[in-house]
Amino acid sequence: MARWIQSRRRPLTADGDHRPADGGPGAGLDGPGGAGRAAKAAARLSDLREGLGGIGTTLDADTTCTELARAAVGLLGGAAAVLRRTGDAGSGYGAIVGDPALLPDARWAAATAREAKTPAAGTPTAPWLEHPGGSGAALSAPLTSGDDAYGVLVWARSGEPLERAEGELLALLAERAASHLRHARDYEQVSRTAGDLQRALLAEPGRPHPNLDVAIRYQPAGRSTLVGGDWCETVRLHFGRTLLVVGDVMGHGLESAVDMSAYRSSLRYIASADLPPHRVLRQMDDIASGEDDRRPATCLLARVDPGRGQLTLASAGHLPPVLIGLDGAARLLPVPVGPPLGTGLGGYESATHRVAPGETLVLFTDGLVEHRGEDIDHSLARLAALRFTAGDAVDAVLESILGRLDARHAEDDVAILAARPHVRQGPKAEGTAGR
């Protein structure tokens, strides 16, 4: 951009050639035809502002390339495309705007991409390469930012030859786009690293007892949130029982993911003592409230005892679970709701329900049901109104819920767990405490 600004300090003639700054016929805007040149310059500047403003509206590289080609055509007409650089080679024209027949052979643009260098400010070398053949005008402007090259902008039109001022405008668009492409690449790298972290933090939970079928899904809320604090866990207890857990750390981002890992670690440690669910929550709250930087979190515990047909629930500010009966009907299970973990307020209680073999328990975070501007009771009623086919596997139940509630377009992350008890026959039905 500094190169473009420096070049613009030299006055332009009506045909786009530079004139010395010390005047000459027609050098200023107050001479004959000056008003017309001023109006034309103002209009072109307005178009340039609009073009620059339309580049880099997202952190998606493909979108940025399309915006660049659209801005080039909007500014000077003709056709434009971007040849992305992949290693030492070009990947072929993409983001084509206008008539592709106007564009020169992509091999010429690929050669430009291989040799693309950013000229120093003030040097006579133009920051673009004109196509030597064909009628009309065509140029290739490298997409470079610092020492990195991302490809080239290729623009062409029929008829009028290229003016230097037009080449400089296209080079400026290419510089702006290259800067946004660098940001998009950096974002992609961060996203990949954050995704690896999220998968590590949400590693396969502990194995439940064989008398319980379990399925878990985690659905991130689009690309705006790299990592979050939603999580699920299963913990084997004595006598064939399993503790099911779903939690949601308040906020988003890396800090929430780190706190989620801390809550999960403390849960595993406390649950190994085989305490009632409400006492597990109490101890988790004591630990979290003693750390000033720990974010509050909601959490729901469900201790399933298939042998006795019992389900014990305790909630720390979390939404209630759903139980799907043998007839496929769903209903919300009432549970006493205590304050979120990390507040230090305590006051957790447990509630016990009956659960029969073949019934399906579903625990979830609020991203599954919540919609902006909608009362949470209506959101929960929508889930409870779903009906399911008897005999569907727990994985199929989760996929059905996610699809019918359109969770893939949820406004928040979604963690969901489904569990179905069944009675095992024989001496192996006796549970152990191992994980």
DSSP per-residue letters across 250-294: SS-SHHHHHHHHHHHHHHHHHHTT---HHHHHHHHHHHHHT-TTP
The pLDDT score that the predictor gives to residue 192 is 67
CA–CA separation, 44 and 18 (whole Å): 17
Q: Considering the chain, what is the average pLDDT of its residues?
A: 80
Query: At residue 236, does pLDDT exceed 80?
Result: yes
Distance, in Å, from the CA atom of 204 to the CA atom of 295, rounded to the nearest integer, reads 24
pTM equals 0.59
Q: Sort strands 310-316 and 337-338 into parallel, antiparallel or unpaired.
A: parallel
> Is the per-residue pLDDT at 9 higher than 60?
no
Residues 6+ apart with CB under 8 A from 111: none
Most confident of 112-121, 196-205, 356-365: 356-365
Q: Which residues contact 283 (CB under 8 A, 6 or more apart)?
A: 266, 270, 275
What's the confidence (pLDDT) of residue 42?
Answer: 65
What is the rounded average pLDDT of the residues 327-336? 95
Task: Output 59 or 192, whichever has higher pLDDT.
Answer: 59
pLDDT of the residue at 339: 96
Residue 74 has pLDDT above 60, yes or no: yes
- Angle CA(63)–CA(116)–CA(69) in degrees, nearest 5? 25
Mean pLDDT across the stretch 170-197? 80
Q: How far apart are CA 16 and CA 163, in angstroms?
A: 6
Condensed to tens digits (0 to 9), the pLDDT of residues 267-322 reads 999 998 999 999 999 999 999 999 888 899 999 999 999 999 999 999 999 999 99
Residue 423 is predicted with a pLDDT of 67
Lowest-confidence segment of 48-52, 323-327, 393-397 by average pLDDT: 48-52
Burial class (CB in 10 A: 0-12, 13-18, 19+), 13: middle
* Residue 302 β-bridge partners: 244, 313
SS3 category, 328: coil
Say which range, 20-29, 77-86, 262-271, has the weakest mean pLDDT: 20-29
If you count them, how many residues does the chain have? 435
Q: Which residue has the higher pLDDT, 190 or 369?
A: 369
Which strands form 89-97's sheet, in the order they lie side by side?
89-97, 79-86, 148-157, 137-145, 129-130
Question: What would the mean pLDDT of 194-210 be, rounded to a whole number?
Answer: 63
pLDDT-derived band at 336 (thresholds 50, 70, 90) equals very high
247 pLDDT more than 90: yes
